[in-house]
């Protein structure tokens, strides 16, 4: 499920949620452990390399997504709030050329334990510049969530 809304400053906010059949601690670890994150991060058929991962509040990261054509799409940012295993905030800045290059957007991830021992992930991606970029990120995150679900099922 995803929802895109326009913010008062004319940017877009993307909200998505998905249920995962693992405990919240396992889901949080899949996002925050760089070795695990690279196993699923990115849309389907995209590889991942992590060049920097200073996982602490104020720490920097750089993730490089590798397309099947060997094109690199790097994103970097700073970790904000880290509240294991329930919440993670981080900035997200694309480095590759195009409309998103250098624009700072923000991720707010909430990891919610469910009564049956599973978990729900609520992702909010803010400061997206327009509807087209919000829709593109919605498709990308949906595909990444599918990859995450498959990774967690292994």
How far is Cα 66 from Cα 72, in angstroms, rounded to an integer? 5
Q: Read off φ and ψ for residue 86, nearest 5 degrees.
A: -110, -25
**Peptide bond preceding 85: is omega within 30 degrees of 0, i.e. cis?**
yes
pLDDT digits (tens, 9 = 90+) for 45-104: 999 999 999 999 999 999 999 999 988 999 999 999 999 999 999 999 999 767 788 899
Give the residue extent of every domain in the chain. 2-33+80-153
Tokens 């452990």 correspond to 33
Alpha-carbon span 31 to 25, nearest angstrom:
10
Q: What is the CATH number of domain 2-33+80-153?
A: 3.30.530.20
């Amino acid at each position: 499920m995803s929802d895109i809304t326009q913010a008062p400053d004319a940017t877009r906010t993307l909200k998505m949620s998905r249920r995962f059949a693992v405990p919240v601690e396992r889901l949080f670890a899949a996002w925050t452990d760089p070795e695990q994150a690279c196993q699923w991060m990115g849309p389907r058929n995209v590889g991942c390399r992590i060049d920097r991962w200073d996982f602490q509040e104020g720490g920097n990261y750089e993730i490089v997504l590798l397309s099947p054509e060997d094109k690199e799409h790097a994103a970097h940012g700073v970790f904000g709030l880290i509240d294991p295993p329930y919440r993670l905030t981080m900035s997200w800045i694309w480095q590759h050329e195009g409309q998103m290059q250098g624009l700072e957007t923000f991720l707010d991830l909430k990891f919610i334990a469910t009564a049956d021992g599973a978990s729900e992930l609520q992702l909010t991606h803010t400061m997206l510049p327009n509807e087209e970029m919000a829709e593109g990120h919605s498709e990308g995150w949906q595909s990444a969530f599918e990859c995450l679900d498959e990774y967690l099922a292994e």
